[in-house]
Amino acid sequence: MPYVDRQNRFCGFLDIEENENSGRFLRRYFILDTEQGSLLWYMDNPQNLPKGAGNVGSLNLSYISKVTLHIPLSPSHSFTVINAGMRKFYLQANDQQDLVEWISVLNNAIKITVPKPGEGHNTHAETPQELLGTVKQVSYKTEIIGGVPIITATQEQGEGHNGADRGGVKRAQNQMPYFLSRGAQDQAIIKAGYCVKQGAVMKNWKRRYFVLDENSLNYYKTDMEREPLRAIPLKEIHKVQECKQSEHMMRDNLFEMVTSSRTFYIQADSPEDMHSWIKAISGAIVAQRGPGRSANTVRIISGEATW
């Protein structure tokens, strides 16, 4: 879902049909800059791209007339449609809540950029924080069925359509990959999804697919890989918390995981996702070590776990 970065811009991942009427959606990182009056999209979060890498697409907000919800008859997936001049841009979000929030912030950004006649300079330009606060929150629940997390909306019927799939084959963001090794499938999957991690030697940042089970945190090159690049046993993790070190503060949604051998720096796609990973890893460690030890040796405060 969109979040506000340190430059006061809306950011987040969406899928876009870059070639009109192609039906092929590509995942891109979007930045909505209301001060510059533009919507930009990149191959990935610019923080993870080579220095000087530019955007792969852009829209001037003054060209956008309306952002609406479009539900085609077949397949029955939810889309956001941006009317911009002679072209319509079709976007897909991760889920219903993500979709609703993007529609809200985009439409509010248009109102800020192109005020209605007669409003003059008295128009109140809401801040990104205010805009996000106006969006109705939608609750979701996660159930483990056959070892696979199934995420479903719990809002009352009639509030909208569930889930915006990508190209008809998109899995839930936290669902485990199709081709995990047999050993991983035998474990109960707690959380799974893409994050960006810093390398141990080169200190470069690469996107990896993380899978948390009841015994370890594993990461793969992609969600289609069978064997993990590395498996980190939960018993080796000493602390998980939001990263506060100054040399990494330019990265949004960054958390650190301290183990016996090294400190892992991991960047999530949003603040919500970052806190979700911290909570999930911390909870898995507590569950593994048992309630008998948690009272004296485990302390969890505001998303930080310390042993």
Do 264 and 197 form a contact (C-beta atoms < 8 A)? Answer: yes
108: CB partners within 8 A, 6+ apart: 126, 131, 134
In this prediction, residue 266 carries a pLDDT of 94
- Determine contact, residues 2/11, Cβ cutoff 8 Å: yes
Residue 20 is predicted with a pLDDT of: 78
Whether the full predicted model's pTM is greater than 0.75, yes or no, is no
| Cβ atoms of residues 49 and 42 within 8 Å | yes
| pLDDT in the model for residue 248 | 66
Round to whole Å and give the CA distance between 277 and 124.
Answer: 36
Pairing of strands 79-84, 304-306: unpaired
pLDDT at 86: 75
In 3D space, the residue among 16, 19, 114, 128 whose CA is nearest the CA of residue 65 turns out to be 114
Between CA 214 and CA 185 the distance in angstroms is 11
263 vs 243: CA distance, rounded Å: 11
> Tens-digit pLDDT profile for the chain (307 aa)?
788 888 889 999 999 987 877 878 899 999 999 888 899 999 999 988 888 889 999 998 888 888 888 766 544 456 777 877 778 888 988 887 888 888 888 888 887 644 444 444 444 555 565 556 554 444 444 555 544 444 444 544 333 333 333 333 344 444 455 445 545 555 689 999 999 998 888 778 888 999 999 999 999 998 888 899 999 999 999 999 998 766 666 788 899 999 989 999 999 988 889 999 999 999 999 988 876 554 334 444 445 555 5
Q: What is the 3-state secondary structure (H, E, C) of 12-34?
A: EEEEECCCCCCCCCEEEEEEEEC
Cβ-contact 2, 101 below 8 angstroms: yes
In 3D space, the residue among 156, 210, 221 whose CA is nearest the CA of residue 184 turns out to be 210
Chain centroid to Cα 300, Å, comes to 24
pLDDT of amino acid 77: 52
The separation between the first and the last C-alpha atoms of the chain, rounded to the nearest angstrom, is: 32
- DSSP states of 143-177: EEETTEEEEEE-SPTTS------STTTPPPTTSPP
CA distance linking residue 135 with residue 79, whole number of Å: 18
